[in-house]
Amino acid sequence: MVTKRKALDALHQQQYLVEIFDHEPERMDMLIDLALSGAHSAYRWQDYELLKKFVARFVGRDAVHPELRTAAHYEIILAFIDWLLPEMPVEEE
C-alpha cells in the first residue's frame, strides 16, 4: 500500500514530477491525497479517469505554466496516478 510519505519520496525521485511539484505544489498534494483517500479497488478505473481530468488542468497542453505542457510531463503524471491507485484484486475461481 502506498502512503503519503512513500508517494512524496517517489515523486522526488523523478525529475518531471519534481518540476510539476515545483510549479503546482498544492495541486500535487491534493492529487496524492485524492488518490490515497478516495481510491477503492472496485472503482480503480473511474478513479483513474477522474484524476486524469484533474491533472489535465495543470499538466499537458492546457497547463498554465508552459514548462508543464510537454507530453513527457503528462505521461509521467499519468504513470504516477496509476502507481498511486491500489491494484485491482484478482478474482479466484
pLDDT of residue 6: 96
User: What percentage of the chain reaches a pLDDT higher than 70?
Assistant: 89
Query: Cα angle vertex 34, ends 33, 39, to 5°?
Result: 115
Q: Where are the alpha helices (DSSP H) in 1-93?
A: 4-11, 15-23, 25-38, 44-55, 71-84
The torsion region of residue 32 among left (phi > 0), alpha (psi -120 to 50) and beta comes to: alpha
pLDDT of residue 89: 57
pTM: 0.89
pLDDT of residue 31: 96
Given a cut of 70, whether residue 9 has pLDDT beyond it is: yes
Work out the average pLDDT over 69-88: 93
